[in-house]
Amino acid sequence: MAVNLYDSAYELEKAVRESDEYKALRQAYDEVNADPSAKTMFENFRNIQMELQQKQMMGQDITQEEVEQAQKTVALVQQHEQISKLMEAEQRMSMMIAEMNKIIMKPLEELYGAVE
């Protein structure tokens, strides 16, 4: 019997949406977006994060000033209770996805050997 991987992927998507981790992330995200000041602060943080990632991917140097600005922004958002909860929920979700990725990639790892 042939396995339809796409059907399994859609089942996994549904399971992710129904997981406690996703529900907690969704709730934290909604709470941040319901507070205009938290939303603005979080959007600013995300914009800085994306700009630095883009520069890194393009091989551009990140200035000391940009690093300091990012550190100040991180410190500021971590002090905001709602944003801090959102970041913790994002971290838990990221860990869960990384674990699922290991499981999904296991057949290829077994076939080619672990990358070290």
Domain ranges of the chain: 5-112
Please write the tens of the pLDDT for every residue from 72-93.
Answer: 988 988 899 999 999 999 999 9
Three-class DSSP labels, 22-71: HHHHHHHHHHHHHCHHHHHHHHHHHHHHHHHHHHHHCCCCCCHHHHHHHH
Read off the amino acid at residue 49. Answer: Q
Buried b (16+ CB within 10 A) or exposed e, 38-59: beebbeebeebeeebeeeeeee
Predicted pLDDT of residue 116: 62
Predicted pLDDT of residue 3: 77
| Alpha-carbon torsion (30, 31, 34, 39), positive or negative | negative
Which among 5, 27, 25, 7 is positioned nearest to 16, based on CA atoms? 25
Looking at domain 5-112, what is its CATH homologous superfamily? YheA/YmcA-like (1.20.1500.10)
Please write the tens of the pLDDT for every residue from 19-67.
Answer: 999 999 999 999 999 999 999 999 999 999 999 999 989 999 888 898 8
The angle at the Cα of 84, spanning 56 to 92, to the nearest 5 degrees, equals 75
Predicted pLDDT of residue 67: 87
